[in-house]
Amino acid sequence: MHSSPRRHLAAVALTIALAATGTACSSGSGGSGAGGADSGTYTIWDPYPQFAKGAAWPNLLDKCGTQAGVKIKRTGFDTSDLANKTLFAAQQGNSPDVLVVDNPVVSTLAEAGVLTTTDDTKLDTSKVDPNLLAAGQSGGKTYGTPIGANTLALYYNKEVLKEAGVDIASVKDWPSLTAALAKVKGAGKKGITFSAIGTEEGSFQFLPWFWGAGAKLTELDSAEAVSALALWKDWLKQGYAPNSVINNTQTTSWQEFAGGDYAFAENGTWQLANARKAGFDYGVLPVPAAGGGNAAAPTGGEFVTVPVQGDTGRYATSRKLVTCLTSTQNLYDTDTTLSYVAPTREVQDKQVAANAELKPWVDAVEAARGRTSDDLGTRYPKISEQLWKAVQSALSGSKSPKDALTSAQAAVK
């Protein structure tokens, strides 16, 4: 722990909520921390309260516990509650043995001294894709391992594009995407919908365009950043995107797309089941970068971590539990349940072999980037807040893209 851990943990708790993506499920019940190293019960906290006892995920936890020779006491929390409950548990010396937590929060908990490193626990992460592992790295150290990833891409309505005379193979960069939107509007249909709401969801959806322009989160007012915001602003001005994006969540923007009139929607892997129910033929395209190729989209998904314990003898069993949960077959089963892309190439190949429609999502995850990568850590929530405020200001017309991002950068400094 850092010095004065109780005071520091309480301060960190105030910033945790800003790091959540806003896609959490309903709340779960509380749980208690661990006992001594010889205790036969190990506690696991996760953000999946939707999975009740008897479901695949709790059953996997019990199976891994049996293999490790211990019983599992599992509690599922709402994503927005889990991080703060973890901080408070750490204050009380009552942390769970294993914590599954939203990846942007990992570096915050690590900086608060709540999590062990993979060096502490001897956890092997050698098979994990480096860009996904980076979301759980801070100060040159790694805190846990990803259980799976989701990210953003463009869903498209094949019928709408056909009626507009758009060949999806021609959409390779921003100019060709904008040209496609113009054709769609000319054919009497709607262009693209996304979420630009004034929350983390808005930043999450803007980041592929921000990074796709070559911008950096440490320079919100760069020319590249301005070009990305100007792209969105121009789409609204031209009528290629609806004004409703300013208030859209990822759920409401999906509902617009599901109506059948839009050519494109920016959304995530979690909408795959809904896409199959939409009633029209669809495809998926990674978000294009400004000059071509795939833009880096932000990674969603969780890390399996091992919180600091007063009795370090517990780490050996915790490592067995994490290793079991992230083994090849268990990753495949879990990520299928969660609609995640696996964090290792071996399991990704298995996923695509079983379901070819996951290929564009695997491609998108390969190009993806953690929101707290580049050692942003606890700075990310503050940067993100200014970013979504800039997007809101520009799209509402209260400021130009340049002025909005200049103000954002000044506020961050």
What CATH number is associated with residue 18?
3.40.190.10
Q: By residue range, what is the domain housing residue 67?
A: 5-149+301-367
Asked if residue 269 lies in contact with residue 340, where contact means CB atoms within 8 angstroms, the answer is: yes
Helix axes 103-111 and 79-91, enclosed angle (nearest 10): 20
Question: Do residues 62 and 42 lie in contact, with contact meaning Cβ atoms separated by under 8 Å?
Answer: no
Domain shared by 383 and 289, yes or no: yes
Per DSSP, the three-state class of 294 is strand
Residues 80 and 208 in one domain: no
Cα separations (Å) of 189 from 161, 207, 234, 240, 359? 9, 26, 18, 9, 28
DSSP state, residue 220: T
Beta-carbon-side half-sphere exposure of residue 109 (alpha carbons within 13 Å): 36
Residue 4: per-residue pLDDT = 35
Q: 290 and 279: one domain?
A: yes
**78/139 same-domain check:** yes
Give yes or no for a contact between 212 and 296, defined as CB atoms under 8 angstroms apart.
yes
User: Are both 168 and 229 inside the same structural domain?
Assistant: yes
- The answer for residues whose C-beta is within 8 angstroms of residue 393's C-beta and 6 or more apart is 399, 403, 404, 407
The predicted pLDDT at position 29 comes to 34
H helix runs in 95-157, sequence order: 103-111, 118-121, 130-133
Strands 302-305 and 98-102: antiparallel
Compute the CA torsion angle 261, 267, 268, 272 (nearest 10 deg). Answer: -10
Separation of first and last alpha carbons in the chain: 28
pLDDT at residue number 213 = 98
Structure confidence at residue 169 (pLDDT): 97
Residue 283 sits in the same domain as residue 138: no
Domain tally, the chain: 2
List the one residue out of 230, 216, 262 whose CA is nearest residue 409.
216
**Chunked in runs of 10, what are the mean pLDDT values of the chain (413 residues)?**
38 47 36 55 96 94 97 92 93 96 92 96 96 93 96 97 98 98 98 96 97 97 98 98 97 97 96 92 97 95 96 96 97 92 97 94 94 84 96 98 98 93
Same domain, 13 and 133: yes
Burial of 10 by CB count in 10 Å (0-12 exposed, 13-18 middle, 19+ buried)? middle
Helix (H) or strand (E) holding 133: helix 130-133
Which 3 state secondary structure label does DSSP give 262? strand
Contact by Cβ (8 Å): 305, 108 = no
With 0-12 / 13-18 / 19 or more C-beta atoms within 10 angstroms meaning exposed / middle / buried, residue 313 is: exposed
| One-letter amino acid of 122 | K
Alpha-carbon distance of 127 to 318, in angstroms, equals 19
Confidence at residue 253, expressed as pLDDT on a 0 to 100 scale: 97
Distance CA 3, CA 197 (A): 38
Q: What is the pLDDT of residue 30?
A: 37
CA distance 305 to 99: 5
pLDDT at residue 397, rounded to an integer = 97
The number of beta carbons lying within 10 Å of the beta carbon of residue 234 is 13
Residues 6+ apart with CB under 8 A from 210: 217, 225, 228, 229, 387
Check whether residue 101 and residue 192 sit in a common domain.
Answer: no
CA nearest 330: which of 105, 65, 64? 64
| Domain assignment present for 373 | no
Tell how far CA 308 is from the center of its chain: 24
Note the pLDDT of residue 36. 57
| Distance, CA of 208 to CA of 295 (rounded, Å) | 6
* Closest-CA residue to 95 (of 1, 228, 189, 231): 1
Round to whole Å and give the CA distance between 361 and 16: 28
172 within a domain of the structure (yes/no): yes
- CA angle centred on 267, ends 287 and 295, rounded to 5°: 20
Q: What are the beta bridge partners of residue 45?
A: 75, 99
Dist. CA 40–CA 21, nearest whole Å: 35
Q: Identify whether 372 is part of a domain.
A: no
355 and 385: one domain?
no
Say whether both 86 and 65 belong to one domain: yes
CB of 283 closer than 8 Å to CB of 158 = yes
Q: Does 261 lie in the same domain as 180?
A: yes
Tokens describing residue 74 = 């599992």
Whether residues 131 and 91 fall in one domain: yes
Residue 239 lies in a domain: yes
Q: Is residue 30 part of a domain?
A: yes
